[in-house]
């Protein structure tokens, strides 16, 4: 099977366009500043790791672990007290929306493949 290289070029263009958004640039700038503060960055990484574990557990079991949920909520409440971390998390949410929009547009464009 031969795939037109233009297809991959277009995907790379899409990624480049994504990286040129204000949302992406702001996220990267805040993250780079946050990395310089080891304590804050470690706290955020720990939160993200626990969040991922919680999500995987939910996917695998179909049940929400209430203790884990409360721990995440408490950690989130603490983290957002820091303006820089709060801004990063807000930027991340905006990027998630952009990515979801991209996925929706692609899915709608090829609905004859994804719908049965």
Mean pLDDT of 63-72: 92
- What average pLDDT is seen over the chain? 92
Confidence of residue 2 (pLDDT cuts 50, 70, 90): low
Long-range Cβ contact pairs of 77-86 (< 8 A, separation 24 or more) = 78/43, 79/43, 79/44, 79/47, 82/40, 84/30, 84/33, 84/34, 84/37, 84/40, 85/34, 85/40, 85/43, 85/44
Q: How far apart are CA 85 and CA 75, in angstroms?
A: 12
Residue 116 pLDDT: 64
Confidence of residue 3 (pLDDT cuts 50, 70, 90): low
Cβ(47)–Cβ(112) under 8 Å? no
Buried/exposed code over 74-87 (b: 16+ C-beta within 10 A; e: otherwise): ebeeebeebeebeb
pLDDT digits (tens, 9 = 90+) for 70-114: 999 999 999 999 999 999 999 999 999 999 999 999 989 888 886
pLDDT digits (tens, 9 = 90+) for 5-30: 798 999 999 999 999 999 999 999 99
Give yes or no for residue 32 having a pLDDT over 90.
Answer: yes
Give yes or no for residue 49 having a pLDDT over 70.
Answer: yes
Confidence of residue 37 (pLDDT cuts 50, 70, 90): very high
Residue 111 pLDDT: 87
Cβ(24)–Cβ(18) under 8 Å? yes
């Amino acid at each position: 099977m031969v795939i037109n290289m233009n297809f991959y070029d277009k995907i790379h263009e899409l990624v480049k366009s994504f990286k040129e958004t204000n949302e992406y640039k702001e996220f990267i700038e805040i993250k780079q500043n946050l990395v310089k503060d080891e304590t804050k960055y470690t706290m955020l990484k720990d939160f993200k790791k626990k969040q991922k574990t919680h999500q995987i557990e939910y996917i695998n079991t179909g049940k929400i672990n209430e203790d884990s949920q409360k721990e995440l909520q408490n950690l989130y409440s603490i983290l957002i007290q820091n303006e820089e971390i709060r801004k990063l998390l807000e930027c991340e949410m905006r990027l998630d929306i952009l990515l979801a929009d991209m996925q929706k547009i692609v899915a709608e464009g090829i609905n004859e493949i994804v719908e049965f």
